[in-house]
């Protein structure tokens, strides 16, 4: 028994079962959500390389090893990686819970599950260059999510496909190039070219500016919940791979400092995302631009890794941002998705600001579900993302006050976008009487999600389950 | 292991096939040429990788081509409307010349772009060989030509089939370069997997509009 078998191979075998059970969507939902919950619990509690005593007399202790060798390469999950897996499974669980709140297409469940498996495989594979292949497969898997059968194919799907495949090639080649340089000091003068290739490959795959265009395109042309899954997890997988490379090739740091470039791109994404969100008139695309700001924040978090803040390992800051971000994004997506199905007739173009006048009068909780996550992702105090953004901006300010100012300017853009949305959806309409038109289970889940956003903001020092550190920020190791 | 002559012939073959893919507008020609291109890729890759591993790339490429053919055959509009008019008549017939000239006229920009790509690759090849000494010249040429042409094919179209063919061509070029410097069974398997997934995605793009809508 080994951990990659439990976390990758068995779920991979389970995915075709979910495809086969598409005809029974409710059963499929329960099955997939339960499996994802079990994986979360195992990632949280199952020790790797330590004896597990089952308490049955005569039965020897069970040891789950950390490696699985497949075609000469290794998949590796040890105790240091388990907290990261727990976070990813927790984030994935949000999207599976969301499937109970709003109506989903039958393909949603098996596709999301399969993408989750590929995401974990991309993190566990050793050496990390194989991650790119798993990310491309995940991107290919995600296409039917936002371009479902029976609808004409969208340009966003083609764009995603092109960018991911181009990125993969550049990435693999850059990996080989960097490895050659690492083994041969004579080639050290070629380091900038190799790092540029790697950066370009990662930028293609993670949707980094200026290769971000598929993110708003997907959000503007497909169902919000499915789109939010793709625009969160594909850049996340690429970013985690980028982080692994930062550590794998950290020996190059004295020869070529790539952190200023990373910082510049990160701040550019934050500012550009915030500015575009202010000018955007489509609710789905505003969500996408908020996601761009988050990707920018991830890149900025990477630039701090060699420093120390509050004696905290800063890779933990990147990972600890994931739960507030995913929670806010999924709440936003659920609210949009319910409105998309009930009022806009499954037509993405009906999510323009001009079509949602007075929405808050009929759907007050959906309106709150649009605004609270928007303001949370913008870093408003007392909401989930604020503590992490505050730490991040404080660290950026230590190196550049200008960048710290720009960071908050970008987030101010998200605040303005939120206020603008609020102004439109609360505008007086024909329905002057306020009424709750949402269904009961939708009300319950939306309230729970928003409550979680508030709680994470008010209690940022909550202990991460099973971690010995004082807070979630400090507890997470680096894969 | 194929000899130097074989890899040289393969380099010429992939250059011609990639140029044909760029200029062709008939899906039958394009997919047939794509399948032929994989033979050239196989010969180039097999000089670096074991024959059986290189065969994975060839078989994967052919399966990808068949998947695309099956998908196109399932779309009646695509089968009926081949927007390329095949040159007809005998070699002496002026009709053939007119059609050929019209094709050249329509494709002049493509030809110019391809020419520029070939010139750039030709002029920079020696530098590439110095930077990457492990890559033989014919592999470097073939890989870069396929990458360049693949990008052109992808960039010049907004239709699913040419984009898929362009990306497959791009990947083939990358496989040739990568095979020269790295050898891994898992990499060969995964690259073939990506090739197949890409062709399946292309097939999905072609068929999605006709599939039964899920509610």
pLDDT digits (tens, 9 = 90+) for A341-357: 877 667 777 788 888 88
Over 60: is that where the pLDDT of B85 sits?
Answer: no
- What residues contact residue B129 under an 8 Å CB cut-off, 6+ apart? B135, B137, B140
Q: Which long-range contacts (CB under 8 A, 24 or more apart) does B118-127 make?
A: B118/B15, B118/B145, B118/B148, B120/B148, B121/B145, B121/B148
The predicted pLDDT at position A347 comes to 74
pLDDT digits (tens, 9 = 90+) for A141-175: 888 888 888 777 888 888 888 999 888 888 888 88
What count of other Cβ atoms lies within 10 Å of the Cβ of residue A197? 20
Cα A127–chain centre separation: 22
**Given pLDDT bands bounded at 50, 70 and 90, which one contains residue A296?**
very high
CA distance A327 to chain B (A): 26
The predicted pLDDT at position B92 comes to 57
pLDDT digits (tens, 9 = 90+) for A308-327: 443 444 567 788 888 899 99
The predicted pLDDT at position A420 comes to 92
Give the residue from A117, A87, A91, A82 showing the smallest Cα distance to A3. A82
**How far is residue A143's CA from residue A156's CA, in Å, rounded to a whole number?**
9
Length of chain A equals: 479
Query: How many CB pairs lie under 8 A apart between chains A and B?
Result: 99
Nearest chain B Cα to A167, which residue?
B171
C-alpha separations of B118 from B124, B140, B144 in Å: 10, 12, 9
Nearest chain B Cα to A136, which residue?
B194
Residue in B185, B186, B209 closest to A152 by CB: B209
Contact residues on chain A for B197, CB-CB shorter than 8 A: 136-137, 140-141
The predicted pLDDT at position A470 comes to 39
The pTM (predicted TM-score) of the whole model is 0.86
What interface predicted TM-score (ipTM) does this complex get? 0.82
**How far is residue B13's CA from residue B19's CA, in Å, rounded to a whole number?**
10
Kindly provide the residue ranges of all beta strands, DSSP E only, lying in A12-87, ordered along the sequence.
Answer: 51-52, 62-63, 67-70, 73-76
DSSP state of A453: H
Between A473 and A330, the higher pLDDT residue: A330
Q: Which residue out of A132, A154, A169, A204 would a mutagenesis test of the B interface target, given it has the greatest number of B Cβ atoms within 10 Å?
A: A169
Over 90: is that where the pLDDT of B22 sits?
Answer: no
**How far is residue A367's CA from residue B133's CA, in Å, rounded to a whole number?**
61
CB A219 within 8 A of CB A287: yes
**How far is residue A139's CA from residue A133's CA, in Å, rounded to a whole number?**
10
Q: Does the CA dihedral A385-A389-A392-A394 come out positive or negative?
A: negative
Q: In the predicted model, what is the mean pLDDT of residues A330-336?
A: 93
DSSP of A182-233 = HH-GGGGGGHHHHHHHHHHHHHHHHT-TTS-THHHHHHHHS-HHHHHHHHHH
CA distance B168 to chain A (A): 9
């Amino acid at each position: 028994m080994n951990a990659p078998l439990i976390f990758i191979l068995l779920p991979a075998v389970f995915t075709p079962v979910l495809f086969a059970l598409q005809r029974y969507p409710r059963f499929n939902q329960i099955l997939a959500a339960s499996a994802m919950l079990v994986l979360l619990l195992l990632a949280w509690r199952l020790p790797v390389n330590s004896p597990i005593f089952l308490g049955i007399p005569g039965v020897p202790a069970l040891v789950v090893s950390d490696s699985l060798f497949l075609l000469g390469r290794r998949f590796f999950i040890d105790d240091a990686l388990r907290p990261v897996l727990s976070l990813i499974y927790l984030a994935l669980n949000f999207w599976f819970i969301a499937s109970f709140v709003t109506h989903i297409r039958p393909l949603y469940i098996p596709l999301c599950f399969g993408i989750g498996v590929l995401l974990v495989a991309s993190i566990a594979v050793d050496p990390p260059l194989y991650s790119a292949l798993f990310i491309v497969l995940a991107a290919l898997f995600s296409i039917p999510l936002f371009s479902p059968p029976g609808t004409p194919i969208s340009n966003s799907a083609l764009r995603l496909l092109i960018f991911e495949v181009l990125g993969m090639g550049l990435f693999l080649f850059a990996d080989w190039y960097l490895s050659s340089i690492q083994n041969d000091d004579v080639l050290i003068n070629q380091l900038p070219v190799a790092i540029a290739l790697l950066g370009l490959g990662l930028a293609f795959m993670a949707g980094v500016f200026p290769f971000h265009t598929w993110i708003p395109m997907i959000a503007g042309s497909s169902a919000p919940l499915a789109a939010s899954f793709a625009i969160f997890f594909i850049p996340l997988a690429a970013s985690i791979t980028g982080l692994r490379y930062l550590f794998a090739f950290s020996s190059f740091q004295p020869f070529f400092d790539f952190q200023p470039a990373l910082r510049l791109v990160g701040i550019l994404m934050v500012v550009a995302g915030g500015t575009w969100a202010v000018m955007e008139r489509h609710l789905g695309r505003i969500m996408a631009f908020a996601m761009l700001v988050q990707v920018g924040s991830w890149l900025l978090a990477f630039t701090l890794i060699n420093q120390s803040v509050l004696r905290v390992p800063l890779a933990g800051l990147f990972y600890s941002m994931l739960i507030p971000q995913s929670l806010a994004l999924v709440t936003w997506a659920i609210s949009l998705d319910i409105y998309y199905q009930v009022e806009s007739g499954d037509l993405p173009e009906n999510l323009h600001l001009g079509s949602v006048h007075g929405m808050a009068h009929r759907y007050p909780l959906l309106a709150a579900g649009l605004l609270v996550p928007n303001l949370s992702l913008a870093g408003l105090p007392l909401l989930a993302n604020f503590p992490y953004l505050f730490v991040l901006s404080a660290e950026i300010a230590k190196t550049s006050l200008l960048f710290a100012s720009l960071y908050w300017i970008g987030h101010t853009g998200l605040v303005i976008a939120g206020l603008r949305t609020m102004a439109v959806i609360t505008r007086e309409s024909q329905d002057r009487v306020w009424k709750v038109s949402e269904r009961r289970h939708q009300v319950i889940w939306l309230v729970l999600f928003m409550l979680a956003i508030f709680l994470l903001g008010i209690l940022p020092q909550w202990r991460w389950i099973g971690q010995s550190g004082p807070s979630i920020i400090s507890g997470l190791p680096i894969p | 292991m194929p000899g130097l002559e074989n890899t040289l012939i393969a380099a010429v073959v992939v250059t011609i096939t990639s140029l044909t893919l760029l200029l062709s507008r008939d899906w039958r020609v394009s997919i047939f040429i794509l399948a032929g291109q994989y033979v050239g890729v196989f010969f180039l890759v097999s000089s670096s990788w074991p024959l059986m591993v290189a065969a994975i790339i060839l078989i994967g490429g052919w399966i990808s081509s068949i998947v695309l053919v099956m998908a196109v055959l399932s779309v009646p509009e695509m089968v009926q409307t081949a927007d390329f008019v095949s040159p007809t008549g005998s070699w002496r017939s002026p009709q053939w010349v007119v059609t050929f000239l019209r094709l050249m006229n329509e494709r002049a920009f493509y030809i110019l772009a391809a020419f520029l790509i070939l010139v750039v690759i030709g002029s920079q090849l020696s530098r590439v060989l110095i930077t990457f000494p492990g890559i033989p010249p014919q592999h470097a040429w073939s890989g870069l030509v396929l990458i360049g042409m693949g990008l052109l094919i992808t960039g010049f179209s907004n239709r699913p089939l040419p984009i898929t063919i362009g990306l497959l061509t791009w990947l083939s070029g990358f496989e040739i370069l990568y095979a020269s410097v790295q050898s891994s069974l898992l990499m060969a398997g995964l690259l073939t997997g990506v090739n197949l997934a890409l062709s399946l995605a292309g097939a999905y793009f072609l068929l999605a509009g006709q599939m039964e809508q899920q509610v």
